[in-house]
Structures are given as structure tokens and as C-alpha cells.
Structure 1
């Protein structure tokens, strides 16, 4: 699968996660306060909860249900109760288009 347009960059609000689905893969897309766009697996590894419903703080995304925070850069959990990472996907920006390939994870 190649990179797929998931939304327009102009649709993203800073520090507000958006859930998209590409090829059946749920992904949380975040424009952080530094202006960088991140794409991580949308399902918390502790509980089957959408991370896009969580809270962004710097370069972390916190699950609203139990408080596990995940690095937007690496997908690694930064605290318990989660201990398994979520996948992080490479993001391409083409003009105003945000493109993600759910079969290609980002090298961290």
C-alpha cells in the first residue's frame, strides 16, 4: 500500500488528536505545539480505548481512561498501566495533504 491522503493539514488543530482509518488501521493524527504532525496507532495497549479521545501534552498523547501517556515520536508508553508501545507511522505532507502509509512504520 502506498501513502494515502487522510485529511488536510488545515483540518488539524494544534494539540487536538484526530482519529482516521487507513486500510482498516485506526490511527491518531496530531499536530503538536511545535508544528510537527505525528501519526500513531489509535488503540491504547492497556485498554481497548481510542487514543484520539485523549490529551496532548508536548510530544505525548495520554489515554483518557487510565492515564497512560505515549510518546508521539516513538510510540513507547511513558508510564503505567500501559507497557506495550503503539506503532508510529511515517507522515508525508504534500501541500495541504497529510499522507500516511499504515504498512510503513516510522524508524525511531
Structure 2
């Protein structure tokens, strides 16, 4: 089965962190109900809580529904609170997926060698 993994690097201003945490709790709850979402987690740097990474892993056919249905209602508030510094996308992506993720400055990496269980 083809999986797509996205790793976002975000910057969040300290005065926006409380509102951002509240917002992402709502997004995670909605993502929890998605079929085809394997991993969807946020991590924050411990030093000053200004850098956040999101690790998302989907069955390939679940990427667009996540963006278009789950994330879309939150996108404007999310992007007002956090700046996307980088996005790395791993896996065999389709043109439709790339067209959506290009808006976030995605860098695409295709599988070379490895395994997962």
C-alpha cells in the first residue's frame, strides 16, 4: 500500500501559542475520525516553544480528503497563527497531491530503499 508522509516545520509566536494549541486540538479530533490517516501528531521544541513539527502519514488516497475536508475549515486561522517554514513530503505522490501541497512550499522525496512493518 502506498503511504504519503508529510513533515511540516512551523514557527509560532509565543503570544499565539495558547490559541494555536486550542486550534490544533480541534484539528486532531477531526483527523482522528478520518479513514486512511495513520499518524497525525504535533511536537514542539522544549527550549522556547516556538518551533512545531507536524508528522502526518496517510494512505495515499487519504491525503486530499484530509486537506480538503478536515483541514480546510481551519486553514485561515491556522496560517494566521503559524508560519510554515518547510514541508517535506515522502512517498509516491500524484499530480493532484502535489498541486495541493505546492501551496505550502513542499519538497518531494521519493522512496529509495527501506522497510516498514
Query: TM class, shorter-chain normalised?
Result: under 0.3
Q: TM (normalized to structure 1)? A: 0.27
Higher RCO, Cα 8 Å, sep 6+: 2
Q: By percentage of residues, which structure has more strand? A: 1
Q: By percentage of residues, which structure has more helix? A: 2
Q: TM (normalized to structure 2)? A: 0.26
